[in-house]
Amino acid sequence: MKLAIGSDHAGYALKEVIKEYLAQRKDEVKDFGTYSEESTDYPDYAHPVANAVESGECELGILICGSANGVCMTANKHEGIRAGLSWTPEIAELARLHNDANVVCIPARYVTNQVGIDIVSTFITASFEGGRHQKRVDKIACS
């Protein structure tokens, strides 16, 4: 699977842990930064991840910041993105199953490394159920 990943400074350490996990799985990961814990602006990383998913360059996206609110709001400005803020694997699974989410947003300050890995693992292995959920997903776009 080809995945896009990005974080701000608050999510950097967890991003690196998740990248290691994905490398063990043999997933292809495109890292859009940041590359250190030096203070930075989350939109600078959320937009490129959203663009990569929206364009089809990557199948799914992973965004990480302190609360995950900023990256989630930024990613959801993109028409083709359905980003879900997930602080448990169960929330991540429902975002995929019911909302056809294509980007998961993880709050690094509120989850352990293992929970972050579990969120990603669940998110990338779950699939949209369609059915009764499709008509709801179809109503998300503003156009």
Residue whose entry in the numeric block shows the structure tokens 């083709």 = 80
pLDDT in the model for residue 4: 98
User: What range does the domain containing 19 cover?
Assistant: 2-138
- Reading the chain (143 residues) residue by residue, the pLDDT tens digits are 999 999 999 999 999 999 999 999 999 999 999 999 999 999 999 999 999 999 999 999 999 999 999 999 999 999 999 999 999 999 999 999 999 999 999 999 999 999 999 999 999 999 998 888 999 999 988 86
What DSSP assignment string belongs to 37-73?
SS---THHHHHHHHHHHHHTSSSEEEEEESSSHHHHH
Q: Reply yes or no on whether 65 is catalytic.
A: yes
Q: Count up the domains in the chain and report the number.
A: 1
pLDDT in the model for residue 142: 83
20, 47 Cβ separation under 8 angstroms: no
74, 42 Cβ separation under 8 angstroms: yes
pLDDT in the model for residue 85: 98
Q: Is residue 22 part of a domain?
A: yes
Q: Is residue 143 part of a domain?
A: no
Phi, psi (degrees; rounded to nearest 5) at 140: -70, -45
Strand pairing class (60-65; 83-85): unpaired
pLDDT in the model for residue 114: 98
Phi, psi (degrees; rounded to nearest 5) at 32: -95, 15
- Catalytic, out of 58, 65, 72, 105: 65
CATH number where 16 lies: 3.40.1400.10
Specify the pTM: 0.97
Contacts of 2 (CB under 8 A, 6+ apart): 27, 28, 29, 30, 57, 58, 59
- Catalytic, out of 9, 47, 78, 98: 98
Q: Reply yes or no on whether 78 is catalytic.
A: no
